[in-house]
Structure formats: C-alpha cells, structure tokens
Amino acid sequence: MHLPRIFKLILVPLFLVFSQGIQAQISNVYEEYCNDRFDFCLKYPSEVFLQKNISTNEDGLVLRSADDDLRLRVYGYHNVLNNDASTELDNYIDMVRMDHEGKAIFRLEEERSDKNAFAVIRVGRLFYFVRTVYKGEDMIGLTLEINRKKDSDIETAKRLTEQMIKEISL
C-alpha cells in the first residue's frame, strides 16, 4: 500500500538532483559561431543545440535541439530600409502575428533603443525571444523559439526560455 508513496519520496528528489546536474552540465559546454560577413559571434550551449545548419549565402545559421522543440536562428542582413533596431523588432513581431492568425500575443518583456532591441513574447504555449542589433549599415537578428512541439505547460516553457536567454550571448 505504501510502496507508491515511498517511490515518490525517493524518486522525486533523486530526479530533481539528476536534472539539476544535467542543467549544470549544459551551461558549461559552449560552442561559438562567428560570422565574418556580418562581423558577429554567437555563443550557445552545444549540448542543447545538436543540429546545426549554416546558410549557403553565409548570412547565419539555424540551431535545433535533438527533438526540434527549440530552434535558435542568428543571421545578418543588409539594412536597405535604414530601419533602427526597434522598428526591425516590430517587423518580426508582425510576422509572428501573421503566422498565428488572430491568436493573442503576450509581450512578457521588452527593451528598445535605436541600436539594440529585444522582446520575449508568448503565443499560446510557444515562447519567442527576439533580438535585433543595428551594426554599421547592417542588422543582426536572433530568434529563439521554445516549446515548438507545445508539449510543455506555460510555466515550464517560461522557465526554459529564461534559462536559455541566459545561456546564449550575441
């Protein structure tokens, strides 16, 4: 009768210790991708993002987790419209709005200037971290999508988003 309760008392703390060990390990193993064409570097946890695709025109790369639940894209592009970073962030949020046809978009965090802008937004259980950086005559864009499979609840996906934002640097 008490066997299931004993398993909970033993296995839950053991699982928590094990999962914290994995998170600590992930945060210590990084790779760096540098783009000479647009003069930027991205540092990311390589044990999270196992799939890497560099674009053929050398503007950036796409990283994916093994299960494709997380996707990180970083890219440079010529700023032919001469927009500032804040305007480019608005353009990306408009694309998200079009992709999700009428679903509510929640802006959880946002910071803007002419040279650097970022936002954390949520659509349903899907989280986005978007950053745009104005660099010379070019723009650098970074997008992180979390919970693409929508298997995690909102709080779990939010915590993972917060952790991943700390783990990547541009």
For the stretch 68-81, pLDDT in tens is: 999 999 999 999 99
- 96-to-34, 75, 119, 142 alpha-carbon distances in Å: 27, 17, 12, 14
Stretch among 5-9, 123-127, 150-154 having the lowest mean pLDDT = 5-9
CATH of region 30-167, choose from 3.40.50.2300, 3.10.180.10, 3.40.50.1970, 3.40.1000.10: 3.40.1000.10
For the stretch 5-61, pLDDT in tens is: 444 444 444 344 334 444 444 457 899 999 999 999 999 999 999 999 998 888 999
Q: Please report, rounded to a whole number, the percentage of residues in the chain having pLDDT higher than 70.
A: 84
- Write down the pTM of the prediction: 0.80
